[in-house]
Structure 1
């Protein structure tokens, strides 16, 4: 049995229903608490379940982001970021309200919890939190317009998944125009269910694309070993 605690909210899960019930009865004697039944909503994450498995999404959270940005009536775009972007070399003027940019990117970071496709885009935009320019703000707005097309997208934890881990990784080479460091991206499945993904700039400069790929593989292997433990 496992218990996830956030302030005064609890999620209790396990493979023994009787033990979970005894634990809830014990907590009820110690604290004034309310049992809300099966998990449906927690910290902005919506949970739906059927015979296929458990579906996690942040539809309401995404719609709140779209509404706050004033883009409920905007046309959606097909991709969250332009191909071959040059955000690292942007020379536009600094925006007047950098706090607004930081808040938007911060909310997008939390949205990556169920939207793996946004990982690289948000990773890129988070580099410019200190002094965002107009190009960076326009790129953040483009992500919000992308959300407009599919606010309810999420991940499915399939009931038929086995406990075999599968990892995929990739890397560019010297993708950062300022530091010439490469970027690693990995994606890990447990059976057929996605459980871990990340985009991260490598710590050192790789002298070849092969070296960058090997660094990406090493990072992914570390993640797989951590998940195994």
Structure 2
């Protein structure tokens, strides 16, 4: 990407940026998926043309789904959600029929150890917490509860 004048972000190695005048083009690459966005339509078209010449690829149009995050558009607004991701986590944990709650945990509520409780599988627990951390990107309302169990 550097040969096209892009600079790799220091905070996210999958993000490449190119500033031209007061416009910007952003490219995010993850394995074989990429997002190209920005307000420099001329540069975006030039980048797509260069990439099409160098790689076998398709332009799928407006972003709809990326890394488990669904992108919806309506009247100039953009919404992100992880409905499919949530359903997969619920199915995996056997909680598909659970009832939702407005507040997943009370603030300043500490966790307690129950002597009668069966120990959880540590690896399975850590994987679930990781999935919940990822889920909190589109659900900041659960970030506090996820932080407590993490």
Which range, TM-score by smaller chain? 0.7 to 0.9
Answer 1 or 2: which has greater helix percent.
1
Asked whether 1:19 is paired with 2:43, we answer: yes
Alpha-carbon displacement from aligned partner over 1:25-71 (angstroms, at most 9, x marks no partner): 11010111111111000000100112241111111101111111112
- CA distance in structure 2 between the aligned counterparts of 1:90 and 1:96, rounded to whole angstroms: 12
- What corresponds to 1:34 in structure 2? 58
Q: Distance in 2 between matches of 1:75 and 1:2?
A: 40
Q: Given the two structures, how large is their TM-score scaled by the length of structure 2?
A: 0.75
Q: Do structure 1's residue 99 and structure 2's residue 123 form an aligned pair?
A: yes
Aligned position for 2:74: 50
Q: How far apart are residue 18 of structure 1 and its match?
A: 2.7
Match of residue 72 from structure 1: 96
Q: 1:70 to 1:86 in 2, by over 3 A?
A: same
* Alignment partner of 1:109 is 2:133: yes
Q: Distance in 2 between matches of 1:5 and 1:56?
A: 19
What runs of 5+ residues in structure 1 fail to find an aligned partner?
127-229
Q: Secondary structure at the match of 1:38?
A: coil
Quick one: distance in 1 between partners of 2:108 and 2:41? 52
When the two structures are aligned, how many residues end up with a matched partner?
Answer: 125
TM-score, normalised via structure 1 length: 0.51
Equivalent-residue separation in structure 1 for 2:108 and 2:34 (angstroms): 44
Alpha-carbon distance in 2 for matches of 1:28, 1:51: 31
Aligned residue runs from structure 1 range 151-190, under 5 A? none
Q: Name the SS for the 2:62 alignment partner.
A: coil
| Secondary structure in 2 matching 1:54 | strand
SS of the equivalent of 2:29 reads strand
Q: Which has the higher contact order (CA 8 A, sep 6+)?
A: 1
